[in-house]
Structure 1
Amino acid sequence: MTEQARSRAPEDARPVYSISVAAELAELAVPTLRLYEEHGLVTPARTDGGTRRYSADDVERIRRVSGLVEDGVTLAAVQMVLDLQDRNRSLTDANRALRDRNAALRKDNACLRADD
């Protein structure tokens, strides 16, 4: 996980923003958010009445989508890019955890050898 993602609080997943507020936070037009939703790139929560509610995590994802689109990536390809980025982040985190665990085991092993 990136430092930014690691520092995100659980409340960042809480859906609190209306579509107009989410659009403003992401610096996009409301129809653009609807288009992203139609393409399955963002899935806001819904109230019992069906009103969209976006979380801070959703807004961050919207910014990622927007950045890719600005870089010339088609909407059809954005999902693949996001999936690859997320998978890479997950693998990087797992690798880091394994390296940390390996280092701890090596340290424990060295201590055990020193005690012999």
Structure 2
Amino acid sequence: MPGSTRSTPADRLDDDDYPAYTMGRAAEMIGATPAFLRALGEAKLIVPLRSDGGHRRYSRYQLRIAARARELVDTGTPVDAACRIIILEDQLEEAQRLNAELRRHAAENTAPAEGT
């Protein structure tokens, strides 16, 4: 249907935020244990959605964050510290993005007008 905003189940395959993975599958995918994923949830690094039956469901975006946490933990960083590092990395990335956007905006507003 042209112009329709309805999504189909196939559209969810490309959605990084769609909670498609069960805890067991998510843990398997990142090479961790369900307990590790629960620890990340307790630290509020990732908050899985719940299925109608109350089971945790994880998105690909959340799994990327969990995989980064696992990398840090595997090098000896405590889970709480790994979560804080990831949050700070995310905040730094956002600040850098905003800074670049503000610089572009400032450059556009200070560019000399044509013919002057």
The TM-score normalised by the length of structure 2 is 0.77
Q: Which has the higher helix share?
A: 1
Query: Residue 3 of structure 1 aligns with which residue?
Result: none
Q: What is the aligned counterpart of 2:20 among 2, 16, 22?
A: 16
Q: CA deviation at 1:84?
A: 1.0
Q: Are 1:59 and 2:66 matched, yes or no?
A: no
Whole-Å Cα distance in 2 between the matches of residues 39 and 80 of structure 1? 9
Structure 2 gaps, min length 5? 1-13
In structure 1, list runs of 5 or more residues that go unmatched. Answer: 1-9
Q: Which of the residues 38, 43, 47 maps onto 2:42?
A: 38
Instruction: Quote the offset at 1:73 in angstroms.
Output: 1.3
Bigger CA drift: 28-37 or 70-79?
28-37
Q: Judge conservation of contact 1:41–1:65 (CA < 8 Å) in 2.
A: no
Taking structure 1 as the reference length, the TM-score comes to 0.77
Runs of 4+ with deviation above 4 angstroms: none
Q: Deviations over 1:18-45 (max 9, x none)?
A: 1122112212223322333233332110
Cα distance in structure 1, aligned partners of 2:72 and 2:22: 23
Whole-angstrom CA distance in 2 between matches of 1:32 and 1:76: 11
| Residues 1:26 and 2:35 aligned together | no
Does structure 1 retain, via aligned residues, the 8 Å contact 2:19–2:58?
yes
Whole-angstrom CA distance in 2 between matches of 1:80 and 1:62? 13
Larger RCO: 1 or 2 (CA < 8 Å, sep 6+): 1
Size of the aligned set, in residue pairs, is: 103
Identity among equivalent positions (%) equals 29
Q: Any conservation in 2 of the 1:44–1:52 contact (CA below 8 Å)?
A: yes
Distance apart, 1:75 and its partner CA: 1.4
Distance in 1, Cα, partners of 2:33 & 2:84: 23
Mark the CA change 1:35 to 1:80 in structure 2 (over 3 Å): closer, same or farther.
Answer: closer
- Counterpart of 1:5 in structure 2 is none
